[in-house]
Amino acid sequence: MANRIIIVGGGAAGMIAAIIAKRNGGDVTLLERNDRVGKKLLATGNGRCNYTNLNISSNNYHGKDLNFIKGPLSQFNTDSVIDFFEGLGITPAVEDNGKVYPLSFQSSSMLDVLRFEMEHLDVQLITDAYVVDIVKGKNFILKLKDGRIYEADRVILATGGMAMPVSGSDGNGHSLAKSLGHKIAETFPALVQLKLEGDIFKQVNGVKIIGKASVYHNEKLIREDIGDILFTDYGVSGPPILQISREAIEHINNNLEVELRLSIIYTKSFDELYFYLIKRFEMMPWKTVEEGLIGLINKRLIIPILKAADIDKKTYVDRLNKREIKDLANILMDWRFKIIGNKGWGQAQVTAGGVSTKEINDKTLESKLVKGLYIVGELLDVDGDCGGFNLQWAWSTGYIAGLNATL
């Protein structure tokens, strides 16, 4: 007799788990709290869905137990994901840094093919089904908020974490796992915009640069990344900021001060930039320093940078002394801000922390504490970098759990 498998959560991990379990003979029911599946999937990659990455390694992931990550990623890897989705109709398109998208560049394409496959396999999908309690006796008894009761031989928890609560992620999965005896590593937002101390941000709101962003604690580099950086009215956003945010927030949570250092010009050494500025200003001695920086950096950044370097904007460039030029070069390469917070769960792309992976079998994703319970995706104490790494984790863990729940 086929295992009765209930999957709680219709996100990326839940949908692939449902498909694989059904293909392997399971009697599959998918319970989704929203009125439709895949809400968060639609928002990924700015609506384009960066669904995996050719350059994946365990180094792109974070959590208390990094050895755990290797098992799922090796069992169902990037090639496996690309092949799986090609079988559903998704033609892959590879962009910078190994990012893989559907050739349609529409997240809706990914969701559509997953939904079509579940319908084709006759997966029982029940929406508006918010699970509030799971009890394990001989079988699993799942109780919904509206009083409905479901029974299963196997349960796959795939509710997601706490990031992007408008998609239905409210931490309920952590509560369910905890009620079944699992430990939860402290959760906090990751891949999220950073709030900075300072009074310049309304002035520079909307300015975008290509630069280098670095997080420091006590003069020690924690992490850095290069790319499009967007100034906002509260601080900074953009891929490099999201990429370094996890480490910054983790330090702040441990009551450690962290500093963001922005390099507006990062392709030159300090000496190269210093001598370049001298040469540049020698060619235009009649200009003020404000005028002399036009064409080198974004115009709206000139006044804030001159203020940071303590240089009067009306100073003629031929009157600048060596110390002032060095101060200017230093700010252009090393503009420092105190990080005071982040934009929270509403803007975060992923949850850091989660169910302790020490309590999960890395080959099957089955709980070591509760036989027949599987925990996958963002619920686990694993989070990835920007670039398709978190979706790869969802596909890998969902696939493995869906397969093993049928055995």
The domains located in the chain, with CATH, are 4-188+351-404 (3.50.50.60), 193-343 (no CATH)
Residue 96's pLDDT is 87
The per-residue pLDDT for range 355-375, each reduced to its tens digit, is 999 999 999 999 999 999 999
Question: Is 253's pLDDT higher than 80?
Answer: yes
Question: Is 249's pLDDT higher than 80?
Answer: yes
In degrees rounded to 5, what are phi and psi of residue 83? -65, -45
Stretch 238-251: mean pLDDT: 97
Alpha-carbon distance of 295 to 234, in angstroms, equals: 26
Alpha-carbon distance of 106 to 118, in angstroms, equals: 19
Return the H-helix or E-strand segment holding 203.
Answer: helix 201-204
3-state secondary structure of 160: coil
Please classify residue 234 by burial: count the beta carbons closer than 10 Å to its beta carbon, then call 0-12 exposed, 13-18 middle and 19+ buried. middle
The one-letter code for the residue type at 388 is: G
Stretch 85-90: mean pLDDT: 98
Task: Band the pLDDT of 122: cuts 50, 70, 90.
Answer: very high
Cα dihedral sign, 354-171-135-35: negative
The per-residue pLDDT for range 285-294, each reduced to its tens digit, is 999 999 999 9
3-state secondary structure of 265: coil
In degrees rounded to 5, what are phi and psi of residue 355? -60, 130
Contact 277, 292 (CB under 8 A): no
Spell 10-28 as b/e; 16+ CB within 10 A means b: bbbbbbbbbbbbbebebbb
> What is the residue-averaged pLDDT of the chain?
97
Residue 86's pLDDT is 98
Alpha-carbon distance of 103 to 90, in angstroms, equals: 7
Question: Across-strand partners of 190?
Answer: 350
Residue position matching structure tokens 């031989």: 153
Question: Is 1's pLDDT higher than 80?
Answer: no
Task: Band the pLDDT of 255: cuts 50, 70, 90.
Answer: very high
Residue 165's pLDDT is 93
Stretch 90-104: mean pLDDT: 96
The per-residue pLDDT for range 20-53, each reduced to its tens digit, is 999 999 999 999 999 999 999 998 888 999 999 9
Percent residues over pLDDT 90 in the chain: 98
- 0.75 exceeded by the pTM? yes
The per-residue pLDDT for range 170-221, each reduced to its tens digit, is 999 999 999 999 999 999 999 999 999 999 999 999 999 999 999 999 999 9
Residue 2's pLDDT is 84
Residue 377's pLDDT is 98
The per-residue pLDDT for range 130-147, each reduced to its tens digit, is 999 999 999 999 999 999
Residue 10's pLDDT is 98
Stretch 272-284: mean pLDDT: 98
